């Protein structure tokens, strides 16, 4: 009986602490402001909607909780939110905070199109955080005005596919892989055999085509010539300052500068729409850690490997600046 009481007391303490943490997080969200009092969260006056694109960009998943994996930017959730804000007459403009090393090419394109469509209805200003590279830069080009911090890591206009091939190791260990397939290229990218020259050429064509799509989106979003962008589309990472010198961003500044620009484009003072407080479940649940698929090669079906490895992502995700 005494043991049960101790367990019950421990659970009660856990629930109380969890509730306090959730309440604290909610209060921090709803009272956030800069030193000069702007931008403020509130509900009086014309509103600006805040969209956050944090972490690996993928087609599914969501921001992680304290027990979740890496933060994930879900195109399904983001496109839905962007569309709702674009159609909401009480929203005067949209500000997007990007802090992402990239991710899925298809998901990045979905977000790009949603933001471009929203910009036809109301001003959209982009603010880059620590990293807005590759897919993170891709989506950033969809706004009406683009800010980067001088030390933001951005650019990395390229596409990558990587895989590990284990056939040499399997031979040493006496492991045999038996794969049956109908269709000559059904097992392309298999980890159990070397890639053929024909398969390598085929995959390179896929990457080149996605790269050209990336270049075209940057050229359209930035109002640049295709050849001008192609010269910069080497996969090279730029600082925000270098990006500004090359025309890849409009101006240098932080989130507050981006908010001031949004007010200028809207022609009025704005208040930030207060985000809904996190639920108990939101706080303790997390998104699917898609980064494991993006950055770790391992056994899996060839189709899954191809889908997970054909992505717009930057080596900046593996860099840490102290």
Q: What is the CATH number of the domain that holds 257?
A: 3.90.226.10
Cβ neighbourhood burial of 205 (10 Å; 0-12, 13-18, 19+): exposed
Is 31 inside a domain boundary? no
Is 190 marked active-site?
A: no
Is 2 inside a domain boundary? no
Is 156 inside a domain boundary? yes
Is 6 inside a domain boundary? no
Range of the domain at 271: 38-316
Residue 34 has pLDDT above 50, yes or no: no
State the catalytic residue, choosing from 64, 134, 140, 190. 134
Is 291 marked active-site?
A: no
At residue 195, the pLDDT reads 87
pLDDT band at 2 (very low <50, low <70, confident <90, very high): low
The DSSP string of 96-129 is EEEEE-EEEHHHHHHHHHHHHHHHHHS-EEEEEE
How many domains is the chain built from? 1
Is 32 inside a domain boundary? no
User: pLDDT, tens digit, for every residue of 43-92?
Assistant: 556 899 999 999 899 887 554 444 444 468 889 999 999 999 999 999 99
Is 27 inside a domain boundary? no
Residues 168-185 have a mean pLDDT of: 84
Is 267 inside a domain boundary? yes
Instruction: Specify the pTM.
Output: 0.74
State the catalytic residue, choosing from 90, 186, 205, 279. 186
Is 192 inside a domain boundary? yes
Half-sphere exposure of 8 (CA within 13 A, CB side): 5
């Amino acid at each position: 009986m005494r043991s049960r009481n101790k367990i019950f007391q421990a659970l009660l303490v856990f629930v109380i602490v969890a509730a306090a943490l959730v309440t604290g997080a909610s209060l921090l969200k709803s009272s956030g402001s800069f030193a000069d009092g702007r931008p403020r969260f509130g509900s009086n006056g014309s509103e600006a909607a805040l969209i956050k694109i944090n972490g690996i960009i993928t087609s599914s998943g969501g921001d992680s909780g304290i027990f979740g994996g890496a933060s994930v930017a879900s195109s399904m959730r983001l496109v839905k939110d962007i569309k709702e804000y674009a159609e909401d007459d009480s929203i005067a403009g949209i500000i997007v905070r990007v802090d992402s090393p990239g991710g899925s090419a298809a998901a990045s394109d979905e977000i790009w199109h949603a933001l471009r469509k929203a910009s036809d209805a109301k001003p959209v200003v982009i603010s880059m955080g620590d990293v807005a590279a590759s897919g993170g830069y891709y989506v950033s080009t969809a706004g009406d005005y683009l800010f980067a911090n001088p030390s933001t890591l951005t650019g990395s206009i390229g596409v990558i596919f990587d895989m590990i091939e284990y056939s040499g190791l399997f031979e040493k260990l006496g492991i045999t892989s038996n794969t049956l397939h109908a269709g000559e290229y059904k097992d392309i990218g298999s980890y159990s055999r070397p890639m053929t020259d024909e398969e390598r050429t085929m995959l390179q064509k896929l990457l080149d085509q996605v790269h050209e799509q990336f270049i075209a989106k940057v050229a359209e979003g930035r109002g640049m010539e295709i050849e001008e962008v192609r010269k910069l589309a080497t996969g090279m990472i730029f600082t925000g300052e270098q990006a500004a010198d090359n025309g890849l961003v409009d101006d240098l500044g932080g989130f507050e500068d981006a908010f001031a620009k949004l007010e200028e484009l809207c022609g009025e003072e704005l208040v930030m729409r207060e985000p809904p407080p996190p639920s108990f479940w939101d706080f303790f649940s997390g998104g699917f850690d898609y980064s494991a698929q993006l950055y770790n090669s391992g056994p899996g079906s060839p189709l899954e490997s191809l889908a997970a490895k054909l992505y717009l992502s930057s080596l900046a995700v593996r860099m840490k600046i102290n």
